[in-house]
Copies of this chain bind each other. A is one copy, B any other.
Amino acid sequence: MTPIDKLFAIEELKQLKARYFRYIDTKDWSGFAGLFADDAVFDITDDVPGCVLTGPAKIAELPARQLSDAVTVHHGHCPEINITSDRSANAVWAMEDRIWWAEGSSSPVGSLQGYGHYFETYERIDGRWFIKSMRLRRLRVDVEPRAKDPNGT
């Protein structure tokens, strides 16, 4: 790849991850699913022990179910993107997320604030980049208990 092709690929990958965060926080689950390669692997074992999902449908189904009645804010910072060929790349992204579940949600906690890094790989298929694998490693997660039910029920 030429230097200009590499810089373009880096910018495209930044915008791919930008959509990842925006689609979660605006609950655009079909847009979210469309970011992943067909055989993508999504490892969030640091958040949900044993949880490694494969394929866009399963990857999108989890947040769609768990976050549908929550307000969420996911931000990515300071990517270290490495283009390894004209169809492959990897990156580390610093991240922070906040989740506030609605009253009456089935969530065991009321809200969450977490920090960590995403370790990712990407694949370019027919000229477009997709997330091929994602692994989240947490630095810290703080949770707040659910506000007490005023009726004591």
Contacts and interface: CB of A to CB of B under 8 A. Distances in A.
The A interface, classified by DSSP as helix, strand, loop or mixed, is: strand
Contacts of A8: 3, 7
Contacts of A72: 139
Copies in the complex: 3
A39 interface: no
Interface string A47-81: 00000000000000000000000011101111111
A22 interface: yes
Given A4-B4, A22-B117, A96 B75 contact: yes
Choose among A10, A76, A79, A94 the residue with the greatest number of B CB atoms under 10 Å from its CB: A94
A78 B76 contact: yes
17 contacts: A4-B4, A7-B11, A10-B11, A15-B80, A18-B78, A18-B79, A18-B94, A21-B94, A22-B117, A25-B94, A72-B139, A73-B96, A73-B140, A75-B77, A75-B94, A76-B77, A98-B115
